[in-house]
């Protein structure tokens, strides 16, 4: 069910569009050593999103992964950027999945575990009816899978049919894919 980026036709010199997207992600990802703590190498996707070609290619690839969706859910905060771009490409709406306390009541909420404590995600309980919507979730990075798993549960509890998830970068060693299985998951770059 889960997959990496597998689509694309052969282009110049046998390079697929998937290869081109991977190359752009690699070239435009800033690696920051010892952030947010010693021993961690932070992957900053800001340069990728600020690059017109990078953003366009990533949006196209995530749009292919979200095919069939009637609504895109973008996870706070970079998922908002990507989710909106994908929704525009697909001609569907976008729903912002917010951190707790950012939306007026009433809300649907889902708590989840952090390394030291808990957090919550919210969506509006009024004004947006998810019943019957085929929702694809978009975010920037999949790490442990906790945030994505909470988003899946939140949307399903609100009546959505969650059909897939797409991320730019998957940190495979952290095991997030297994946490959200069997949901189809597309990662444009797995490291």
Active site residues: 78, 115
Q: Tokens 């196209």 map to which residue? A: 60
Q: Could you give the angle at which helices 78-90 and 52-65 cross, rounded to 10 degrees? A: 70
> Rg of the Cα trace of the chain?
16
- Close Cβ partners of 116 (under 8 Å, ≥ 6 residues apart): none
Q: In degrees rounded to 5, what are phi and psi of residue 79? A: -65, -25
Local structure of residue 97 (DSSP, 8 states): E
Distance CA 23, CA 106 (A): 43
How do the residues of the chain divide into helix, strand and coil, expressed in percent and rounded to 5? 35, 35, 30
Between vectors from CA 89 to CA 11 and to CA 9, what angle results, nearest 5°?
A: 15
């Amino acid at each position: 069910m889960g997959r990496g980026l597998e689509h694309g036709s052969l282009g110049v010199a046998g390079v697929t569009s998937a290869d081109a997207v991977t190359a752009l992600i690699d070239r435009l990802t800033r690696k920051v050593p010892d952030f947010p703590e010693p021993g961690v190498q932070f992957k900053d996707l800001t340069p990728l999103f600020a690059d017109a070609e990078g953003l366009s290619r990533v949006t196209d690839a995530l749009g292919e992964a979200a095919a069939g969706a009637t609504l895109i859910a973008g996870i706070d905060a970079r998922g908002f950027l990507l989710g909106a771009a994908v929704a525009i490409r697909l001609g569907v709406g976008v729903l912002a999945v917010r951190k707790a306390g950012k939306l007026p009541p009433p809300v649907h909420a889902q708590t989840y575990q952090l390394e030291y404590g808990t957090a919550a995600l919210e969506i509006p309980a009024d004004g947006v009816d998810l019943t019957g919507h085929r929702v694809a979730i978009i975010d920037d990075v999949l790490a442990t899978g906790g945030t994505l798993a909470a988003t899946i549960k939140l949307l399903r509890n609100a009546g959505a049919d969650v059909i897939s998830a797409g991320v730019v970068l998957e940190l495979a060693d952290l095991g997030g894919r297994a946490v959200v299985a069997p949901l189809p998951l597309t990662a444009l770059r797995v490291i």
